[in-house]
Structure 1
C-alpha cells in the first residue's frame, strides 16, 4: 500500500465484529503482537482498540447484530460522511446505517456496494484512524472480492473518487494513483459459500511462519502463502470464529 496515513477516500481503519471478543483478542494478540484495550464506558459496548506500540491499528467489537457471522469491515476516510453517504446512493449502493456521531471521535456510516460488499465511512474528528500502515501488525492492503468486477469498477470511482488500474488479472484501487488495494472476481466455488466482501491484509515479516502460527492457534487456511509475481508473499486465512483476513509481507 502506497498510503502512509489516512487520506480522504483511502482506507483509514478496520474493525472486527465477532461473537467472542476475548477469544479474538487473544488470537490476534498472539498472531500480530497487538496490545488490546477495551473502552470501559458502558455506552462503548465493549469496543476494543488494538495497538502496536502506542499506535492504534484495528478494533474488535461484539457483533452489531446477533446471529450475523463474524467479519472484518474496512472503513474509508470521508471529509463529509453525509455527503459520502449520498454519493454511495447516487452511484447505486446502499446506506445500511445512516451517518451518526461516535462520541467526539468522528462521524460514522455503514454502506454496501451494488453487489452487497459492506464497508464503512469515517469522518474523523478526535480520532483520525490508524496510527500506522505497512509495518508488522498494521494494515498493509485491502481487497474486494466480488462476482461483479465491472460493477465495482463503475461504483467505487463514482462513489469514493478512486482511481482504478485495471490489468489483465488484477485491478489496483488508488487515491490519486497511490495504490492501497485490489479487486478480485470471486470464482464459482467462492460465490457458492461466501457473499461479496472486503478483506484486510495485515503486514507480517514472514508469511509462511505467521500462517503456520495462525493455523496452530485455531485458524483455518483459505489460500496458502504464495508469492505475488514481482511483489509480496500473501495468504488468506479464517480466524477461529470464522472471520476472513489476509497477511502479506512488506
Structure 2
C-alpha cells in the first residue's frame, strides 16, 4: 500500500515507520492518523515483523503536535468525537498491539506527538529532543491520552506541573523522569533502536505479546493485572514457543522460536 504522509521500511523482522510531513514538523492531521492506523494494523498482521520503530522525518521533529488548523472551529461535541476517535484508532491501538513498538524521538515531541510516543511500549530519544504537552496554552487539554499516560510514566506531581505550565523538557530531564529509557545522539538514534529491537527479536514474540497484555492490564480500571498475569502465564505452557524455549535451555543451545 502507498502512503502520502508516512514511510515504511522493513529489514530483518524490524519495521520502521517514519511520519513524513517535514514542512509541518510531522504534525498529526486526520489523514496521517488514519494512515498510521492502517500501517500498524498491517504490520501487526505480518508474522515476519517482530518489532516496530516509530520516528519522524528530518532533524527537527518527531511529531510537533496535532494539526490545529483542522479543529480550531470545532464545537464541544466535535471535539469529544475527535478525541475519542483518535484514541481508539491510533493511541490506544498502538498501546495494545502485541508487536512491541519503540518510539525513537528525534527533536520536538509536543502535544499529540508526545502522546503518540507515550502510547508506544517504550521510548528512546536523541539529545536534542524536546517534549511537552502545551495544550493549556491554547485553552484546551491533552485529548489523546496525555493526562492519563504522563502521570503513569513520570508520576502525578511532575505530570501536573508539565501540563499546567505547558513546559517543554529536554532529553536529559525526560530520562531522569522515566519518560524515556535511553538518550543518544541524533546520528545514533535509529542505530540504538535497531540494537534494542535485535535484543527483543531473540525472544519469544508470543511471550512478549502476553507480557504486554499483562502489563497493560495493571493500568485498567476494574481489571486485576495479577489475574491476567496468571492466565497468560498458564497459557504460555500450551505454546510451541514454550516447548522450544525450555527444550533449548535443557539442551544448552539458543532457541529458534516458531512464534506460535
Q: TM-score range by the shorter chain?
A: under 0.3
Higher strand share: 1
Higher relative contact order (CA 8 A, sep 6+): 1
- TM-score w.r.t. the length of structure 1 is 0.27
Higher helix share: 2
